[in-house]
Structure 1
């Protein structure tokens, strides 16, 4: 440990050291890392030193930015690299790109890009780490319009299991470039990435909120509406159980409600107003739709900022109908013994198209993403997990069998990784894992084990 500390600019902490608990903490509190060492990396050289130290001793390595999606934890014996100190953003307005360091949050990228009249393909929660989100695929607010965030990566700096810092692009180590974009942290620790920015300054967005008594009507109308909208329209519908606490505004505090969230990227406010008219006709109890700066787009979903203990699951769906909606509502309505957030995100559009430069993101034929999220502060895990299992069983007739990596952090996440990829792509990923990480040093994650292939980068 002392030799590693001499080579690292940031802190190197063991469980007995002051600051250890703060350094290992992330947004997700249900599963906490407890490694033998935490390295608070201040730059790529620190990451190289930490990976070399771990690899030389046969220790597993985990990496954490904001800690929103802990699929596996760095248990005793492992090394955790935290990247929050690496938060630089450089925007090239002329090229329409940004360079983003490993620990940067999306809100930091959004702020810098907005100064140049541009926007990144960030998600609904602005405080999520940009790099890990993108490596997992990245389902952005505007992904139906522009594609997955991973589709718009131009280059990556990554420290592989041999301790080398590599710069990879479509032309330089193309196999590794392909695998990282969708393979998350299985192939190394990404210390920075170059991404495309979009010519977006404003959008038409917000939320329509309905009483739960209209749930079946709202979900049914939403499905009919979603089948007709252009790629410019991005949306989701969710059944949400809100706690009775002062932080929740009236009139939705302590109620079950149905939310339709909208982000329309083109055509100005007139286009958005016209497109959402059929949904407004249902009669929402709250309506925040309007033109807003992209920098304020986090207000559309209002995802929680404070850390929390969350159990969640996800499934990719094909075409769905009223029977699918009823199957969900039967298990997730006000009568449900466990409070949930149950959501359908509309896919299709540019998401269904292969990117200009291929990557490992799978399940592009899915029409909807189904999520169920429960906070452990509101129910016991022994009740939540069976409730989730019943819900996923109920939607099986409409499932494609696939899942999405960014939302996969429940009990069975480790065994479901294969379902995030097309079969041939998964085989290629295991072959590449054997090349770049044959000892599976990076295994405390949504793990892809090494195969026996002979692909060379």
Structure 2
């Protein structure tokens, strides 16, 4: 049955008790009348931060606290100057509800943060930062094969727990990414072609909505909300506090690989897409092409091609799949290993340290054509350069993802075979030279248009892009009307609001 805990208003939590304490007497019982005190001055109003501190019970950080600057820093350093007035680390769903009540009572803007990796800075604010990291418990039930994951858990917490249980699910590679943002947008990873999106493995969840209810969600409880959180994006409908996933037995042996080509790379790129596009769902890959700065390399360096991924099969079968690619050119670097599943994930891990970056995504329903690759490579060799890099990369989708109907969950992109991303990053030195960053973004926008002209459509909500003009249609497609109607129903006052909120 759905849990219907009602949001505690500030007056109930702190108003009577706090005012009484400040006045020096205990709060009244319901059967008592207030004594008349002639000429007594009115009780002073409760300071808003004192009020929040009572709710937070030791979990409130203000700018004067020693750990504040570290905790406020986002992963995308483009937004490091956006600092909150305070950070509250929620420990329970009821505490989340009480904090939301406080925000409404004091008209305090807020954002939600799990791992703090929002590409567009949507987990930064000048108001209150509601941090979920304390709600990171993970419980695995061997009888059902299900794992209940707190909304504040990071990928690293999931890795550690599932390794111990001998299980796996669709997960990311960066250990500091939060599970909430990851799964609410769908959740991609090298397991997605054989296991589906992370949200496809979700069987239950819990969320605190704007009315203060702590709601249990599943296919039978609050099914509309359960539909919406599976791909509808983080922060639109409430504060998710837990997720329950179906897991699968972890592979005893997995083949992982990282290969880099620097010669004859256009031919390699064509061969890669031809070889991998119809590969079995047990293969998960990412193909990346790096930009080349002409002034630094004088035309003597080609676009580098990197293949990264995993194959649930022996190395010999992977070698057979890649034979046509090897015929185009031998890789300059090759590292292929057979490892137990979680050791293999350590090989694939991406640290994801804080940096300055911007990414733009689009889905492709067919593999990139030769004509598109010609144009893309021409653009890649005109990368203007920063203190970091510019890239075009492709995550291989399809498989089990496409077995689910577009309307079956909020994640609508069910026909794609590849997810393309144009990414740029820059260094701290570049931040004082805005012309360098501007040139990199212009280069990125032009390459992104090339992707669109080649059949790119939609955009991945987990890679939010503040520069998208038609972001609602691109993120949600035909599912937008249903999402908008549900948003109006569960959050009529638009409490959960950010620049790209539904």
TM-score above 0.5: yes
Question: How far apart are 1:322 and its partner, in Å?
Answer: 0.8
Query: What is the DSSP-based 3-state SS (H/G/I as helix, E as strand, rest coil) of the residue aligned with 2:264?
Result: helix
Say if 2:371 is the partner of 1:315.
Answer: no
For the Cα contact (< 8 Å) 1:28–1:310, is it kept in 2?
Answer: yes
Partner of 1:276: 322
Q: 1:232 to 1:445 in 2, by over 3 A?
A: farther
Say if 2:57 is the partner of 1:9.
Answer: yes
Alignment deviations for residues 191-242 of structure 1 (CA, whole Å, 9 cap, x no partner): 111011122233211211111x332011100111123311111112101369
Question: How far apart are 1:290 and its partner, in Å?
Answer: 2.2
Partner of 2:77: 29
Partner of 1:341: 391
In terms of Rg, which structure is larger? 2
Question: How far apart are 1:373 and its partner, in Å?
Answer: 1.6
Partner of 1:451: none
Question: How far apart are 1:172 and its partner, in Å?
Answer: 0.5
For the Cα contact (< 8 Å) 1:70–1:445, is it kept in 2?
Answer: no
For the Cα contact (< 8 Å) 1:385–1:411, is it kept in 2?
Answer: no
Say if 2:372 is the partner of 1:324.
Answer: yes
Partner of 1:368: 418
TM-score, normalization: structure 1?
0.88
Q: Distance in 1 between matches of 2:141 and 2:254?
A: 22
Alignment size in residue pairs? 434
Question: How far apart are 1:36 and its partner, in Å?
Answer: 3.0
Alignment deviations for residues 19-62 of structure 1 (CA, whole Å, 9 cap, x no partner): 33222222221124433332122232321221111133444331
Partner of 1:50: 99
Question: How far apart are 1:286 and its partner, in Å?
Answer: 1.2
Q: Distance in 2 between matches of 1:22 and 1:242?
A: 35
Q: Distance in 2 between matches of 1:74 and 1:119?
A: 28
Q: Distance in 2 between matches of 1:164 and 1:23?
A: 28
Q: Distance in 2 between matches of 1:297 and 1:356?
A: 32
Q: Distance in 2 between matches of 1:395 and 1:361?
A: 21
Give unmatched runs, 5+ long, in structure 1: 244-253, 449-457
Alignment deviations for residues 67-87 of structure 1 (CA, whole Å, 9 cap, x no partner): 112434467663211112222
Greater Cα shift, 375-384 or 313-322? 375-384
Greater Cα shift, 87-96 or 131-140? 87-96
Q: Which of 397, 404, 416 matches 2:471?
A: 416
Question: How far apart are 1:96 and its partner, in Å?
Answer: 1.4
Partner of 1:262: 309
Q: Which of 201, 223, 245 matches 1:152?
A: 201
For the Cα contact (< 8 Å) 1:312–1:372, is it kept in 2?
Answer: yes
Query: What is the DSSP-based 3-state SS (H/G/I as helix, E as strand, rest coil) of the residue aligned with 2:481?
Result: helix
Question: How far apart are 1:175 and its partner, in Å?
Answer: 0.5
Partner of 1:87: 136
Question: How far apart are 1:331 and its partner, in Å?
Answer: 1.4
Q: Distance in 2 between matches of 1:200 and 1:279?
A: 29
TM-score, normalization: structure 2?
0.80
Say if 2:441 is the partner of 1:385.
Answer: yes
For the Cα contact (< 8 Å) 1:42–1:86, is it kept in 2?
Answer: yes
Q: 1:406 to 1:95 in 2, by over 3 A?
A: same
Question: How far apart are 1:311 and its partner, in Å?
Answer: 1.1
Partner of 2:28: none
Q: Distance in 1 between matches of 2:54 and 2:292?
A: 49
Say if 2:337 is the partner of 1:290.
Answer: yes
Q: 1:255 to 1:224 in 2, by over 3 A?
A: closer
Partner of 2:283: 233
Q: 1:261 to 1:87 in 2, by over 3 A?
A: same
Q: Which of 158, 162, 173 matches 1:113?
A: 162
Partner of 2:40: none
Query: What is the DSSP-based 3-state SS (H/G/I as helix, E as strand, rest coil) of the residue aligned with 1:133?
Result: helix
User: What's the C-alpha RMSD, in Å, of the aligned pairs?
Assistant: 2.6
Q: Distance in 1 between matches of 2:50 and 2:403?
A: 50
Q: Distance in 2 between matches of 1:299 and 1:280?
A: 26
Alignment deviations for residues 233-279 of structure 1 (CA, whole Å, 9 cap, x no partner): 11121013699xxxxxxxxxx996310112113x4444333323333
For the Cα contact (< 8 Å) 2:472–2:480, is it kept in 1?
Answer: no
Partner of 2:14: none
Greater Cα shift, 7-16 or 21-30? 7-16
Give unmatched runs, 5+ long, in structure 2: 1-48, 294-300, 431-435
Query: What is the DSSP-based 3-state SS (H/G/I as helix, E as strand, rest coil) of the residue aligned with 1:63?
Result: strand
Alignment deviations for residues 108-159 of structure 1 (CA, whole Å, 9 cap, x no partner): 2122112222112112323311221011111121111111111111111111
Q: Distance in 1 between matches of 2:364 and 2:163?
A: 34
Query: What is the DSSP-based 3-state SS (H/G/I as helix, E as strand, rest coil) of the residue aligned with 2:165?
Result: coil
Q: 1:439 to 1:92 in 2, by over 3 A?
A: same
Q: 1:166 to 1:335 in 2, by over 3 A?
A: closer
For the Cα contact (< 8 Å) 2:173–2:189, is it kept in 1?
Answer: yes
**Higher relative contact order (Cα pairs below 8 Å, separated by 6+ residues):** 1
Q: Distance in 1 between matches of 2:57 and 2:458?
A: 42
Partner of 2:255: 204
Q: Which of 238, 256, 260 matches 1:188?
A: 238
Partner of 2:153: 104
Say if 2:408 is the partner of 1:358.
Answer: yes
Greater Cα shift, 291-300 or 216-225? 291-300
Q: Distance in 1 between matches of 2:320 and 2:459?
A: 33
Question: How far apart are 1:336 and its partner, in Å?
Answer: 4.2
Partner of 1:250: none
